[in-house]
Structure formats: C-alpha cells, structure tokens
Amino acid sequence: MQLFVEGVEQKVPFDPNRMTAALTRFLRGKGIHKQIQVILVNDEYIADLNRRYRRVEGATDVLAFDLGPSERSDDEAEGEVYVSLDRAQRQAKDLNIPMAEESVRLIIHGLLHLSGYDHEEGREAEKRMLKETEAGVKQVLKEMDITS
C-alpha cells in the first residue's frame, strides 16, 4: 500500500508513514494483497474525479477505483482510494470526533469497497460494511496510538 498527499499537506492529521504501516497490516489481516494507492486530496480534486468518472456533480468524501490485476510490475497499483481531507475535516467537526478518526474511517471505507464490500447491495450488505469499517477504524487507530 502507498499513501500520497496531493496539495493538502497541511491538513494531514496523522503521520503518513505510521498510517501506511497500520493500513497495510489491516489489509493483510483481511487477506487483501492488492497494491493499493491511497491519495489524500481536496474537494476540488475529488469533485473533478466524481464528475469525470461517475458523472456526478460536486465533491464527495471518498472514491475507490478498482484498476484490475497488474501484469506489468509488482508496484503498479491495482486500486486507488481518493479521500477528500476537506470533507473529512467538516464531517469530523459535525460528528465531534478527531479528524484523524474520520480520515481513517473514509480510507477504510474505500479499501473495503476495493475488497468486494458494497453497502449499496441491500440492508445486510450495508450492516456488514459498517461493522467491518468500524472494526478496521478501531484497529488502525489503536495501532497508530490515536484516541477517539
């Protein structure tokens, strides 16, 4: 797993290296061995992706793209997760939780989408994804020594 920051460096509420290590352990624990890139962006960047690839106007909090299996090299991404730190910041404030927690929640949500979870497949799928997301958030925050 790789983590990239695109123009929102001042908003990153955690140590990127510790986050990468904790998320990699989370993925391995789930049996996920895809090369995934997590890209932290602003609302403008994610709104452009949303418009181009989903034909939906406006920003969203997280987008996940499954790029399929990589055949060219071991370090080529098979999936990308984009998280708007602008959205994470507003949502954390609304929920009265640390921005680091909301950022982790959005990243985990995107990673679960790439591993086959889809909350839009019905109520049971939504419950399962919520349960897995919250368990992942708890695990990653604990590993990073971030309290919520």
Question: Model confidence over 6-64: pLDDT tens digits?
Answer: 989 989 989 999 999 999 999 888 888 788 999 999 999 999 999 999 999 999 999 99
Q: Environment class of residue 73 by beta-carbon count within 10 Å: exposed (0-12), middle (13-18) or buried (19+)?
A: exposed
Residue 70 pLDDT: 57
Query: Is residue 148 one of the residues assigned to a domain?
Result: no
13-52: b or e for each residue (b if 16 or more CB lie within 10 Å)? bbeeeebebbbeebbeeeebebbbbbbbbbbebbbebbee
**Beta partners for 62?**
83
- Alpha-helical runs (H) found in the chain: 16-29, 43-49, 85-95, 99-114, 123-143
How many CB atoms are closer than 10 A to CB 96?
6
Q: 137 with 101: CB under 8 angstroms?
A: yes
> Could you tell me which residue, 31 or 70, shows the higher pLDDT?
31
The CATH number assigned to the domain holding 71 equals 3.40.390.30
pTM for this prediction: 0.89
Query: Is residue 21 one of the residues assigned to a domain?
Result: yes
How many structural domains comprise the chain? 1
Q: Domain span at residue 84?
A: 2-143
Query: Is residue 99 one of the residues assigned to a domain?
Result: yes
Query: Is residue 41 one of the residues assigned to a domain?
Result: yes
Q: Give the model's confidence band at 99: pLDDT under 50 very low, under 70 low, under 90 confident, else very high.
A: very high
